[in-house]
Amino acid sequence: MSSIKCECGHLNPEGTDICQNCGRPLSTEEKSKKLADMRYDGAAIRSKTHKRTVVDKIWNFFSSVKIGVSIIIAILVASAIGTILPQVFYIPGGGANEAQTARYYEDNYGIFGQIYNALGLSDLYGSWWFMTLVGMLGISLVVVSLDRGIPLYKSLKNQRIDRHPSFLKRQRLYGEGQVDDPDAVMKKAAEKLKSQRYNIREKNGAMLAEKGRWARWGPYVNHLGLILFLFGVMLRALPGFYVDESMWIREGETLAVKGAPGLYLENKGFTFDVYTQENTDEVFSEAIDRVGSVASNYQTDVALYETPEGELPGSTNADLVKEYSIVVNKPLKHEGFHIFQMDFKLDELSAMTFALENKETGESLGELTVNLDDPQKEYDLGNGAKVELLDYYPDFSGFEDGEPQTATPVPNNPAFLFKMITPEAPDGETSFVAIRQTLEPLGENTYKLAFQKADTRDVSGLTIRKDKTIPVIVLGGVIFMIGVVQGSYFNHRRFWIRKSDDGKIQVAGHTSKNWVALQRELDAVTEYAGLPAYTDQRDKEEQTDKPEGDSNS
Amino acid sequence: MSKQQEREKKRKRQQIIRTAILAVLAIAIVYTIVVNVTKDEDIVKVGDTAPDFELVDLEGNTHRLSDYRGEGVFLNFWGTWCGPCKKEMPHMEKYFNEFEDDGVNILAVNISESDLKVQSFANTYGLTFPIVIDKTNSVRDAYNVRPLPTTFLVGPDGKVKKIIETEMSEQEIKSYMESIMPS
């Protein structure tokens, strides 16, 4: 492996810009510059040191900041495209049925929607290529951090105190001049720098004053936070870490909690309240005047049950865990599960009451109430009158081959096939009763079932969430912010002061950020210790130079 | 020279570390993608042991899936309102009668409908195989059944042999039932 030998005798790895020992420029590119490239302190970033095997090639690819930025831009663009049309999980059916999904996009967004869906953009965030991009960003973060962070750390840890005069000359803040008593000047300078909380090291008539080195780790702390964040998101894919389901539950129903095996929920009642002019303060009256009503509460009173360990699905053996009123933003919490109030449907039919009436006289033989959840075979009205329910069609959609059909199991449009047994017709009369429609398929009847009233109930829409990754994601976010603060609000400042035997003193200064503050500090030291005057050597056209390389991404 | 060797050794170590880091990251990413892309489909996959459950039929008898171990179970999820279910049920009845004595059972799981509705359906089509009702949807969730009808063919070893999410023809029903016959 090739290496670069410096004039001082130090062997530097290939790709080194500035001798890691004395500070002389090594590469031709570096030599041609007037100012030293202090990014990574001139150390060879790892990817530059050798490029031979496939692993090295992959490593080098990901270590490129250009590639990293390109990946970030690609993710941003893709994420933006994903917001043009609603994603599948927001459309009715949630994308469970492909044909239905395709139809939805075509019907609602025309040709564009069709193409959008066909390209897989309708489920962009769940697509393999989007996840690959995010994964590549993760690799890039890890590789870049190791590739640049480790050499920088080593370089700063092992930095030499007595750098070569040429190194000092090539710093942005530089001054040199004769002084009467170099030793006294150096001593006073050290004194002043110490009071400015600099860490002073001296060797061979050279001094290195340094503070805030830890600010240089900011970007790597920041990357660590991001990597943790991505790791947290990745954990969601593992079973048991993340649940996000929704379910509808009618008042009075007991259903298994989706995504939470062994848990059952009973809906004991749904409440939907509004503010009215009577029950509220002044504040809402204007809004109420404008929109008619303002919701004040959505609430589902529930009982949560849990089956004992080892009990099978379908078993009715469950113990009450607790009763709770789920209100918006006050979810029911149990074993990491949060059950939220999300949606509701008011007034679904739950029961219908009919009177058995003589069509001619209008005389009633009694009433019967059919519970649409649990209709009975027979309703005995006494006095020799009874009604048999032959069949029930919750969502009557018409006849097919003379047979009544139901479109869904939801009681949207209930229809009944009754047999009425009365003293006048002991063999029974058949009547088909639907809303606003009565058929007498087997001939004229003497009796009819007259609709009396309907009972309704509400349906509550709940969302079930469990997310064990939150602590990891929060920790990642906190570390990320610490890194940002560390790298942005603190600077790594260094001064090099060197005396030569002929009474000449050289002084050079460098900072990762905030040159104004560095100059102010140097001004104070110069004045106090009588150092030679310095100048800012940066060319005017370089004023727009980017700040020190390791900026936060 | 020894310095050269040392460098070479260091380089080799670095190679190994790089390879390991890249491999770990790649495995994590590929795993995440595979799990994410395939997840919404199959809680129960072909080859898995069919989740056990316990449901009550129209006569009040409790059926537990694991009690059928050693025999094939034609596990059919259905609803009275679903058109394809109406078409395939009579065929299922026919082959149930044919294969019942050969150790092939049918368990028809209705998704939370009323007893009356399910009973009238069974009467209309003259169904004699056990029909159980999943009142709380817990069995449906355990199998993550979405379209109706969905049929799981459970072999004598209790493993899922095939999952059918469409309507089955008479011929298909026959061959499916033969496929789970204990040998």
Helix, strand, coil abundance in chain A, percent, nearest 5: 35, 35, 30
Q: Which residues of B80-98 are buried (b: 16+ CB within 10 A; e: fewer)?
A: bbbeebbebbebbbebbee
Chain B CB within 8 Å of residue A274 CB:
no
CA–CA gap between residue A243 and residue A468 (Å, rounded):
9
Residue A213 has a pLDDT of: 93
Residue A551 has a pLDDT of: 43
Choice between A22 and B53, residue whose per-residue pLDDT is larger: B53
Smallest CA–CA distance, residue B83 to chain A, in Å, is 9
On whether the CB atoms of residues A299 and A332 are closer than 8 A, the answer is no
Whether A484 shows a pLDDT value over 70: the answer reads: yes
In the structure, what pLDDT confidence band is assigned to residue A548 with cuts at 50, 70 and 90? very low
CA–CA gap between residue A370 and residue A354 (Å, rounded):
8
> Does the beta-carbon distance from B134 to A238 stay under 8 Å?
no
Predicted ipTM?
Answer: 0.82
Distance of CA A539 to the CA centre of its chain: 45
Domain spans, chain B? 1-39, 54-179
Residue B23 has a pLDDT of: 94
Q: Which two tokens stand for residue B122?
A: 């069974």
Contacts of A363 (CB under 8 A, 6+ apart): A357
Give me the amino acid identity at A203.
Answer: K
Contacts of A327 (CB under 8 A, 6+ apart): A297, A298, A299, A341
Whether A34 shows a pLDDT value over 80: the answer reads: no
**Mean pLDDT score of chain B:** 89
Name every chain B residue with its beta carbon within 8 A of the beta carbon of A132.
Answer: 29, 33
Nearest partner of A136 among A219, A87, A78, A80, judged by Cα: A78
Element (H, E) at A79: helix A65-81
Q: What is the pLDDT of residues A387-438, one digit of tens each?
A: 999 999 999 988 888 888 888 888 889 999 999 998 888 888 999 999 888 8
**Mean pLDDT score of chain A:** 87
Q: Which two tokens stand for residue A6?
A: 């410096």
Which of A1, A128, A315 has its CB closest to that of B11? Answer: A1
Name every chain A residue with its beta carbon within 8 A of the beta carbon of B139.
Answer: 313-314
Give A384-432 as a 3 state SS string. Answer: CEEEEEEEEECEEEEEECCEEEECCCCCCECEEEEEEECCCCCCCEEEE
> Does the beta-carbon distance from A128 to B142 stay under 8 Å?
no
CA–CA gap between residue A287 and residue A437 (Å, rounded):
42
Residue A444 has a pLDDT of: 85
CA–CA gap between residue A520 and residue A199 (Å, rounded):
18
Lowest mean pLDDT among A26-30, A138-142, A280-284, A450-454: A280-284
Residue A545 has a pLDDT of: 47
Choice between B42 and A331, residue whose per-residue pLDDT is larger: A331
Whether A283 shows a pLDDT value over 80: the answer reads: no
Please, which residues 110-169 of chain B have a Cβ atom closer than 8 Å to chain A?
111-117, 119-120, 132, 134-139, 141-142, 146-147
**Which residue matches tokens 């810009």?**
A17
Q: What is the pLDDT of residues A527-536, one digit of tens each?
A: 999 899 999 9
**Which residue matches tokens 């519970």?**
A371
Q: What is the pLDDT of residues B25-51, one digit of tens each?
A: 999 999 888 887 776 556 788 888 999
On whether the CB atoms of residues A328 and A341 are closer than 8 A, the answer is yes
Q: What is the pLDDT of residues A79-129, one digit of tens each?
A: 999 999 998 888 876 666 778 888 889 998 989 999 998 888 988 888 889
Distance of CA A235 to the CA centre of its chain: 12
Give A490-539 as a 3 state SS string. Answer: CCCEEEEEEECCCCEEEEEEEECCCHHHHHHHHHHHHHHHCCCCCEECCC
Residue A420 has a pLDDT of: 92
Chain B CB within 8 Å of residue A42 CB:
no
**Which residue matches tokens 């104004």?**
A516
**What is the architecture of the domain spanning B54-179?**
3-Layer(aba) Sandwich (3.40)
Lowest mean pLDDT among A370-374, A495-499, B144-148, B173-177: B144-148
In the structure, what pLDDT confidence band is assigned to residue A539 with cuts at 50, 70 and 90? low
Residue A96 has a pLDDT of: 67
Alpha helices in chain B (DSSP H): 2-39, 83-99, 115-125, 138-143, 170-179
CA–CA gap between residue A546 and residue A491 (Å, rounded):
15
Distance of CA A55 to the CA centre of its chain: 32
Best to test chain B binding among A309, A315, A413 (most B CBs inside 10 Å): A315
Residue A402 has a pLDDT of: 82
* A145 to A139, A226, A404: CA distances (angstroms): 10, 11, 70
Please, which residues 391-420 of chain A have a Cβ atom closer than 8 Å to chain B?
391-392, 394-395, 406-409
Q: What is the pLDDT of residues A35-56, one digit of tens each?
A: 877 877 777 776 665 557 888 8
